Each structure stands twice: as structure tokens, then as C-alpha cells.
Structure 1
Amino acid sequence: MDIWQKLYQAAKVEYHPQDVTPFIYAHNVVSALEAADGQIFVGFCIESCSGVLDLCAERVAALNMYVNSGQTQIKRIIAFRDQAPSGSGSGMPCGACREYLMQLDERNRNLEFMVDYQKRQTITLNELMPNWWGNERYQSAKQK
């Protein structure tokens, strides 16, 4: 079993869409990531009736990683609804997730997102955000 199969299987367990309360819906998008040390962490989407309170599966997985291991660097992520990513934008992170993951650790620019599970096609965060605004801030922090 390759790492992508492991990530898919770990995330798939979390897929069971449900109403948590009359205001919150969860588990309709799931994610699993591989941290820098090889540990796997999962997350699921949590949506509220106030969109600004929503948390995407990728961010929940990243928070799970940080809370449970203190790590911030991610090697790879898979995210999906009821089936593995199959190209055409499925599995792609939203802008908020892209931004959060880039801010979490500058090395995350090399993390891979699964684009097409069957073809094992991936894309890096850096390819999604080639001219990220925060590069200068990371460089300034290194010089201090």
C-alpha cells in the first residue's frame, strides 16, 4: 500500500456527513495529511450557518497535526467528498486553506496535494501560489 492509499483510507473513515446541531454540518469533506515525520493526521469539514465560522477539512487536519505533535511541516494532503480526487479541480484546497498552510510553515510550499488519485497526479502548494505575498516576511524573519 503506497502513502496515498494510506492517506485515502485514513480520510475515508471520517466521511459520514451529519448534522451536529441545527446550525452545524460536518464530515461532508474529509482530509488526511502526512506530517514531516511520517505521521498521518485526519480532518473533516465543519460548516456552520455562518460561513465565516466554517473550517475546511485540510485546516482541521493541519490543526490536528499541530495540537497532537507540535509539527507544522506537511509532506502531502488528500481531500475529498464521497470519492477520491479525480482531476478537474476535485481535491483542490480553497484559498483560505492555501493561505493557512503557507503561513503555517514556509516549507509547506513543497507539500503535494492529490489532484487525481487514480493517476497519482499531484500539485505542490508553491505551484498553486507561485508569487505568494508572505515570502518577504519569511525572509525578513530569517535575517533577525
Structure 2
Amino acid sequence: MDIWEKLFNSAKKLYNPHEVSPFVYAEHVVCALEAENGEIYTGYCFEASAGVFHFCAERAAVFNMYQFSKQTKIKRLIAFRNEAPSGVGGMPCGACREFLMQLNSKNAETEIMIDYNTREAIKLAELFPKWWGEMRTQ
């Protein structure tokens, strides 16, 4: 079993879309990431009608990583809904991309799964070729 299969299986266990209340929907997007030390952390989306309460699966997984290990560097990340990414799906939203970069600028090297079947991944740096915060990290 390769690392992508481990990440996929870890995240898939969390997939359980449901309404928490008439205003909150949860567990419809899941994520697993591999931290710098090789540990796997997971998270799921928690979405409220008021956008400020929206917590993406990627940021939830990162929060869990930091909470339990104080790590900020991420090697690999996979995010998806009911099935593995196939093509352009599974990419973190703009807010998550920005958060990953702000957390640790070395996360520019994070591999993000694009197509699970072919194991195609993209580096975060490719999504942020000229990230505005780079000058603050030098």
C-alpha cells in the first residue's frame, strides 16, 4: 500500500455527509495529510449558513496536526467528497491554499493529489507561483 492509498483510506473513514442542524452541514468533504514526520492527520468540512463559520476539511486536518504535534510542514494532502480525486477535483480552495502557505512557506512543496488512479499530484507552489507572502519569509 503506497502513501496515497493510506491517505485516501484514512480520509474515506470520515465521509458521512449529514445535516447537523437546519443551518449546518458536515462531513461531506474529507481530507488526510502526511505531516513532515510521516504521521497522518485527518479532518472534515463543517459548513454553516454563515460563511464565517465554514471550516474546510483541509484546515481541519491541519488544525489537528498542529494541535497534536505542533508541526507545520505538510508533505502530501488529499481531499475529496464521495470518491477519490480524478482530474481537477480535490484541490484546496483559495482560503486553504493561502492558509497552508502562511502556516509554513515550505508548504509550497506540499504535493496535492489531483488524480488518485494515476497518482498525479501538483505542488502547492504551482498554484501560487508568485505568492505575495514570500518576501516576508526571507
Shift of residue 46 of structure 1?
A: 0.6
Taking every aligned residue pair, what percent have the same amino acid on both sides? Answer: 57
Q: How does 1:72-83 map to 2 (within 5 A)?
A: 72-83=72-83
Structure 2 match to 1:45: 45
Q: How many residues align?
A: 138
After the TM superposition, which of the residue ranges 94-103 and 17-26 deviates more from structure 2?
Answer: 17-26
What letter corresponds to residue 119 of structure 2 in structure 1?
R
Structure 1 match to 2:3: 3
Structure 2 match to 1:55: 55
Q: Report the Cα distance in structure 2 between the residues aligned to 1:96 and 1:14, rounded to whole angstroms.
A: 22
What letter corresponds to residue 121 of structure 1 in structure 2?
E
Larger Rg: 1
1:66-85 CA distances to partner (integer Å, 9 max, x unpaired)? 00110000000000000000
Shift of residue 52 of structure 1?
A: 2.2
Runs of 4+ in 1 over 3 A off after TM superposition: none
Q: Report the Cα distance in structure 1 between the residues aligned to 2:114 and 2:123, rounded to whole angstroms.
A: 10
Q: Report the Cα distance in structure 1 between the residues aligned to 2:112 and 2:38, rounded to whole angstroms.
A: 16
> TM-score, normalised on structure 1?
0.94
Shift of residue 24 of structure 1?
A: 1.3
Shift of residue 22 of structure 1?
A: 2.5
SS in 2 for 1:55: coil
Structure 1 match to 2:121: 122
Computed over aligned residues only, the root mean square deviation of the Cα atoms, in angstroms, reads 0.6
Q: Report the Cα distance in structure 2 between the residues aligned to 1:40 and 1:7, rounded to whole angstroms.
A: 7
Structure 1 match to 2:29: 29
What letter corresponds to residue 98 of structure 1 in structure 2?
R
> TM-score, normalised on structure 2?
0.98
Runs of 5+ consecutive residues of structure 1 not aligned to the other structure:
140-144
Runs of 5+ consecutive residues of structure 2 not aligned to the other structure:
none
SS in 2 for 1:119: coil
